[in-house]
């Protein structure tokens, strides 16, 4: 890969969270006269993002099974050093576990605009004794070295475990060295999910979860009070 391309991707990954923060602050200011109107995000095609619709054929229509398209995007860009997989607005129906890990941003258009939804009464998510996550970032091929999952990020999405899935976990999230969740909602359609979230020592900013019979979250790292970042605990 040419040095210029590497530099562009690294720079984009570094400034991306700041751009999102600035856009959100600006939009919040613009929306003062219209409470409840959420900010929108748009990116140029040459920004270096990997769009799951444009580049991988995901539909996001709430009807088509997008499992294969999403997993292909996540697999292609996991552990590639600060790549960004972008989910435009839509409901992405899935029928199996999705995973991504290490040096990756999975960025949605906002938790109120992007939903990854498990199919109702989905096979493989029926046994609470063998619960399985809809989305997971646990390390791959690292054995018992659970800290080997650097800079994994999930932003701007809702994870929905659907209905009739008593063995579903909303998300299993693990990251170190800069990873975190921001603007992520986790919900159950009928309360039959086992867990909303399990997290490693990462920063969490404005997560929410609800509708689960059992709700658990391991402690997340909390930044100093004067830090720009803000974190909060998930609550039912």
Widest pairwise Cα distance in the chain = 52
Residue 188 resides in a domain: yes
- Looking at residue 44, its pLDDT comes to 75
Q: How far apart are CA 94 and CA 97, in angstroms?
A: 8
Q: Quick one: average pLDDT of 84-91? A: 96
- Domain presence at residue 216: no
* Residue pair 88/52 in contact by the 8 Å Cβ criterion: yes
Does residue 93 lie in a domain region? yes
Indicate whether 175 belongs to any domain.
yes
Q: Within a domain: residue 96?
A: yes
Question: Tens digits of per-residue pLDDT, 6-56?
Answer: 555 555 555 555 555 444 444 344 434 355 555 556 677 777 899 999 999
27 or 127, which is more confident: 127
Tell me what pLDDT residue 232 has: 33
Q: What is the DSSP string of the chain?
A: --HHHHHHHHHHHHHHHHHHHHHHHHHHHHTTTSTTPPP-----GGG--EETTTTT----EEEEE-HHHHHHHHHHHTTSSSEEEEE-SEEEEESS-EE--SSEEEEES-TTTEEEEEPTT-TT---GGG-EEEEE---SS-TT-TT--BSEEEEEEEEE--SS-TTEEEEEE--BSS-EEEEEEEE-SSS--SEEEEE-S-EEES-EEES-SS---PPPP---TTSS--------
Domain that holds residue 53: 47-210
Closest CA to 93 of 55, 66, 59: 66
Burial class from Cβ neighbours inside 10 Å (0-12, 13-18, 19+) for residue 220 reads buried
Domain assignment present for residue 39? The answer is no
Q: Span 184-207, mean pLDDT?
A: 69
Structural domain contains residue 35: no
Give the tens place of pLDDT for each residue, 158-192: 999 999 999 999 988 888 777 888 888 889 888 88
Global pTM reads 0.73
Q: How far apart are CA 111 and CA 101, in angstroms?
A: 20
CATH number at residue 54: 2.160.20.10
Domain count for the chain = 1
Asked whether residue 2 is assigned to any structural domain, the reply reads no
């Amino acid at each position: 890969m040419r040095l210029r391309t590497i530099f562009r991707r690294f720079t984009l990954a570094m400034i991306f969270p700041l751009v999102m923060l600035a856009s959100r602050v600006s939009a919040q200011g613009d929306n003062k006269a219209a409470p409840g109107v959420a900010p929108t995000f748009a990116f140029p095609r040459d920004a270096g993002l990997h769009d799951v619709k444009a580049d991988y054929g995901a539909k996001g229509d709430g009807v088509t099974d997008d499992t294969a398209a999403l997993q292909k995007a996540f697999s292609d860009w996991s552990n590639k050093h600060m790549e960004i997989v972008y989910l435009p607005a839509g409901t992405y129906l899935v029928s199996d576990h999705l995973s991504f890990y290490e040096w990756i941003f999975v960025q949605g258009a906002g938790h109120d605009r992007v939903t990854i939804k498990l199919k109702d009464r989905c096979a493989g998510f029926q046994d609470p004794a063998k619960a399985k996550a809809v989305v997971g970032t646990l390390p791959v091929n690292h054995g018992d070295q659970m800290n080997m999952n650097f800079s994994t990020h999930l932003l701007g999405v809702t994870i929905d475990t659907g209905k009739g899935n008593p063995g579903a976990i909303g998300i299993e999230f693990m990251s170190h060295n800069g990873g975190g969740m921001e603007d992520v909602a986790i919900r159950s359609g009928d309360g039959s999910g086992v867990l909303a979230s399990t997290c490693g020592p990462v920063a969490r900013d404005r997560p929410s979860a609800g509708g689960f019979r059992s709700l658990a979250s391991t402690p997340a790292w909390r930044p100093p009070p004067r830090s720009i970042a803000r974190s909060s605990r998930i609550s039912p």
